[in-house]
Amino acid sequence: MVNTKVDLLGITLDNPVIPASGTFGFGYEFAELYDINCLGTFSFKGTTRESRFGNPTPRIAECTAGMINAVGLQNPGVDAVINEELPKLKKVFHKPVMANVSGFSVEDYAYTCALLDREEQVGWLEVNVSCPNVHGGGMSFGTEPDAAAEVTRAVKAVTTKPVIIKLSPNVKDIAAIAKACERAGADGISLINTLLGMRIDLKTGRPVIANTMGGFSGPAIFPVALRMVYQVSKAVGIPVVGMGGVSCAEDVIEMMMAGASAVEVGAANLVDPYASKKIVEALPAAMEKYGINDLNDIIGKAH
């Protein structure tokens, strides 16, 4: 019997497989299909202070081995998440959940995280610093070490649970940003969010996505994600959650060898609703195939 149990910042996961934020809603759509308690945990839809409709449609474009989304953080706002979504989730999911938080100012982040930190079922706060910084001229918080560190400090100051900062890959030196977050008190780093991408409709000559560009993810981005997980996990001393293009158990193993302590699965859930469950189930056989008895043995093996 192989061991798939891993520790993520003091909480034991039955396995390292975590559906990624924005691809698993608040768990329901999937709980209707299978018992989602088979997952390590999952990261719920990016939650903001106020409710948001998000961007105009079309918000989705197809790509070779991937997709672009420009959902724009549609969510009911933190109060509705706490009062409506989490109570419903509790009935179908009996493990700590990862709360994914976004914001457009440092205060937004702190406000939303402080509220979610008090929720019993929240195990970790995953702070997505890929949003545009409204006060800082629209550049994303996650593309500047100082801005990312500022968000980290503000969130850490008002929370007690482990804070994982989720980084954007659209930067020159992601390890520098990770290190700034670590110094500012982050308990973990997760990466990567989507790559900025674009498609054009040949029939009209116009961008497919109403907002022109969007976030590119899926199997196509795996080599970039793997490289960044490797770079960041070598640069920091805190746990790293890896993601980007993961679609099978082998990808989970490769991400862990690159340095991930746990692995998120995003777009794969959208094209195969059972993808995360299948990965959990395939993991032991894949481990055996490569002679791995305990996943903890391979974290960062490629370093």
Ligand X SMILES: Cc1cc2nc3c(=O)[nH]c(=O)nc-3n(C[C@H](O)[C@H](O)[C@H](O)COP(=O)(O)O)c2cc1C
Answer for the pair 179, 209: CB distance below 8 angstroms, yes or no.
no
Cβ closest to ligand X, residue 166 vs residue 277: 166
Active site residue 38: no
Q: How far apart are CA 25 and CA 81, in angstroms?
A: 11
Closest CA to 140 of 195, 198, 81, 84: 195
Token pair in block for residue 22: 């924005």
Residue 86 Cβ vs other proteins, minimum distance, rounded to whole Å? 18
Q: In angstroms, what is the minimal distance from the CB of 200 to a copy of itself?
A: 5
**Contact between residue 101 and residue 74 where contact means Cβ atoms under 8 Å apart:** no
Select 32 or 35, whichever has its Cβ closest to other proteins: 32
Asked whether 141 and 148 are in contact (CB, 8 A), the reply is: yes
Does residue 198 touch a copy of itself according to CB under 8 A? yes
**Residues 236-265: x where in contact with a copy of itself by CB under 8 A, - otherwise, as a string:** ---------x----x--xx--xx-------
CA 149 to chain centre: 18
Q: How far is the CB of 20 from a copy of itself (least distance, A)?
A: 18
| Residue 66 sits in the site that holds other proteins (CB under 8 A) | yes
Phi, psi of 206 (to 5 degrees): -105, 155
Q: How would you classify the pairing of strands 122-128 and 97-101?
A: parallel
Residue 130 near residue 190, CB atoms below 8 Å: no
The residue with tokens 């199997």 is 219
Q: Determine, following the binding rule CB under 8 A, whether residue 175 of this chain makes contact with a copy of itself.
A: no
User: What residue 100 binds from ligand X, other proteins, a copy of itself, none (CB within 5 to 8 A, per partner kind)?
Assistant: ligand X
User: Do 72 and 81 touch, CB atoms closer than 8 A?
Assistant: no
- Figure out which of the listed residues 2, 9, 213, 282 binds a copy of itself, where binding follows CB under 8 A: 213
Our CB check for ligand X shows the closer of 2 and 54 to be: 54
Of 45 and 161, the one with the shorter C-beta distance to ligand X is 45
Question: How far is the C-alpha of 233 from the C-alpha of 274, rounded, in Å?
Answer: 29
> Which of 13, 18, 71, 292 is close enough to bind other proteins by CB under 8 A?
71
143 near a copy of itself (CB under 8 A): yes
* String marking each residue 21-60 x if it binds a copy of itself according to CB under 8 A: ----------------------------------------
Alpha-carbon gap, residue 184 to 100, rounded angstroms: 19
Which is catalytic among the residues 38, 63, 131, 248? 131
Is 173 among the residues that bind other proteins (CB under 8 A)? no
User: Rounded distance, CA 143 to CA 145, Å?
Assistant: 7
3-state secondary structure of 77: coil
| Contact set with a copy of itself (CB under 8 A) | 61, 63-66, 68, 143, 170-172, 195-200, 202-203, 205-207, 212-213, 216, 219-224, 226-227, 230, 245, 250, 253-254, 257-258, 290, 298, 301-302
The residues annotated as belonging to the active site are: 131
